[in-house]
Amino acid sequence: MNAYLHIPFCTSICSYCDFTSFAGQETKMSRYVDALCAEIQSSNLEGPLQTVYFGGGTPSLLLPEKLELILKTLHKKAGFAADIEISMEANPETVDLTRLQSYRDFGVNRLSFGAQAFQTEILKKLGRGHDWARVEKAFADARQAGFTNINLDLMFGLAGQSFDQFQESVRKVCELRPEHISMYALQVEEGTPLARQVDEGLELPSEDQVADEYAWAQTYLLALGYEQYEVSNFSNPGKACRHNWNIWRGEDYWGFGLSAVGTVGNVRHGHGEDLMAYIEKAPQGYESLLEKEVLTEPIRAWERIMLQFRTQEGVLERDVEAYVRSQGGSSYKERFNRFEKEGFISLIDGRYRATSKGYFVLNGILETLMV
């Protein structure tokens, strides 16, 4: 079993972010953690847990003792596998050596820093609270604290960032030799400050530049020995994020906390986005917090295909065929043959995989399978 825990607090909100998080609500953190623990306790989570992931928000705003409380609650509830992966997202400016050491002591063994870009002015535009020096400092502290599995997040397709500046950012990230690099294309999400800026005329890089950046990074990271194991994720061999891997494989995962999503069996559960409602309802037990979506077997099959295609593991040809047939679909095969010929996908040992080139147009590939 895998567990995702959402920590919806930030010191400030980044312009592009549409995750549920609140700035200036830190006084509620303690009560929130209590509510979170109440939800965990009352749930029918069954262990042992293979992975735990603290996402946000900014989980690194958690005082170490609060983190300890949550992990203890989880441990008591479900138990941990011997090789459990406990990941935590962190903003570089929120951590120091002491805090990182505490996190490490309480069991966190994987850190994910939101580095995003090298250039200070770009970081400022994104609404980030750090500069590159803070990234280097946090990274060094993490190493000193004993973390041997660290991810750095990096974005591309950023407004105002040139291709050269993106390259510079990638080089800077790689200089630190993180075990893992997540590389995201900037998405303009509805309702974010960024969306408003775009409406007001903020210019985003051209499709060509975005594609060039992605392509260049793929090559560059590959040359340094990183593997691209998913559309947005690169790692040293054996250092993929197991939590996400398990989800992409179609394993069950619990979501705890405000806005957190989980999928257990054929039910996907979510939580609302009202912080106070969550805090107040949690003592009544986890059922009162959940919004449920029943996933039919075809939807689950489709989601597995959709997710597996994003990963280096790929999808079994027979799964694809079975799905298309179950939908009464006609021939996807002709189109897939052409995709293969043009180098978007490969078919080896009965398994379809997107190539590095195929990742660019994964939606187009997936659409072919939809009826």
Partner 1 sequence: MSLDHIRNFCIIAHIDHGKSTLADRLLEFTGAIPPREMRAQLMDQMDLERERGITIKAKAVRFFYKAKDGKKYEMNLIDTPGHVDFNYEVSRSLKACEGALLLIDASQGVEAQTLANAYLASDQNLAIIPVINKIDLPSADVERCKKQMEDSLAIDGSEAVLASAKEGIGIEEILEAVVTKVPPPTGVVEEPLKALIFDSMFDIYRGVMIFVRVINGTIKKGTKMKFMVTGKVFEVEEIGVFKPKMEKSDQLSAGEVGYISANIKEVADAKVGDTITDETNPTAEALPGFKDVLPMVFCGLYPVSTDDYAKLKEALSKLKLSDAALSYEPETSLALSFGFRCGFLGLLHMEIVQERLEREYDLNLIATAPSVIYKIKKTNGEEVVIDNPSELPDPTLIDAIFEPYIDAKIIVPADYIGVVMTLCQEKRGIHKNTSFIDTTRAVIAYELPLAEVVMDFFDKLKSATKGYASLDYEPIGYQEGHIVKVDILLNNEPVDALSFMVHRDKAENRGRGIAEKLKEIIPTQMFEVPIQAAIGGKVIARETVRARRKDVLAKCYGGDISRKRKLLDKQKEGKKRMKNIGSVEIPQEAFMAVLKVED
Contact footprint for partner 1 (CB under 8 A): 4, 19, 55, 157, 182, 184-185, 187, 207-208, 210-211, 214, 231-232, 244, 247, 253, 255, 259-263, 268, 270, 293, 299, 302-303, 306-307, 310, 338-339, 342, 344, 359-367, 370
Q: How far is the CB of 55 from partner 1 (least distance, A)?
A: 8
Q: How far is the CB of 282 from partner 1 (least distance, A)?
A: 19
∠ CA 89-64-39, rounded to 5°: 75
Of 13 and 307, the one with the shorter C-beta distance to partner 1 is 307
Q: How far is the CB of 237 from partner 1 (least distance, A)?
A: 22
Q: How far apart are CA 117 and CA 14, in angstroms?
A: 13
Of 258 and 282, the one with the shorter C-beta distance to partner 1 is 258
Q: How many CB atoms lie within 10 A of CB 343?
A: 11
Record the tokens describing residue 65, joined without a space: 């003792």
Q: How many CB atoms lie within 10 A of CB 222?
A: 13
Of 109 and 356, the one with the shorter C-beta distance to partner 1 is 356
The closest of 307, 301, 310 to 247, measured between CA atoms, is 307
Q: How far is the CB of 157 from partner 1 (least distance, A)?
A: 8
Q: How far is the CB of 367 from partner 1 (least distance, A)?
A: 6
Contact yes or no for 92/135 (Cβ under 8 A): yes
Q: How far apart are CA 348 and CA 314, in angstroms?
A: 10
- Residue 42's contacts (CB-CB under 8 Å, 6 or more residues apart) are 285, 286, 287
Q: How far is the CB of 85 from partner 1 (least distance, A)?
A: 14
Element (H, E) at 82: strand 80-90
Of 91 and 263, the one with the shorter C-beta distance to partner 1 is 263
Of 4 and 286, the one with the shorter C-beta distance to partner 1 is 4
Of 7 and 145, the one with the shorter C-beta distance to partner 1 is 7
3-state DSSP assignment of residue 269: strand
